[in-house]
């Protein structure tokens, strides 16, 4: 089953956030985004621009492109 890119992004963000033990609220503060937006991103409901993908990646210190990678593969 081909996982839609928006879902991939959502799964990657949720996995990284939970690995850090951050709530959506805390992660939203760290990324400068609103909690409800983070929630929608994690549910694959948003089609963000690359600038926003960069902000989503920043708190984790990972490459922005890796958030679009296959959640099955290891995130660098």
* Residue 25 touching a copy of itself (CB under 8 A): no
Distance CA(57)–CA(12), nearest Å, equals 10
Q: What is the DSSP letter of 43?
A: T
Contact in structure between 12 and 21 (CB atoms under 8 Å): no
Exactly one of 1, 2, 21, 50 binds a copy of itself (CB under 8 A); that residue is: 50
Nearer to a copy of itself, 23 or 58 (CB): 58
Nearer to a copy of itself, 28 or 44 (CB): 44
CA 28 to chain centre: 11
Nearer to a copy of itself, 19 or 58 (CB): 58
């Amino acid at each position: 089953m081909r996982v839609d890119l928006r879902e991939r992004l959502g799964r990657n963000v949720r996995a990284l956030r939970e690995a850090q033990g951050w709530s959506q609220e805390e992660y939203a503060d760290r990324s400068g985004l609103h909690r409800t937006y983070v929630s929608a991103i994690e549910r694959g409901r948003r089609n963000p621009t690359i600038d926003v993908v960069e902000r989503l990646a920043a708190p984790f210190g990972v490459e922005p492109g890796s958030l679009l990678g296959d959640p099955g593969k290891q995130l660098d």
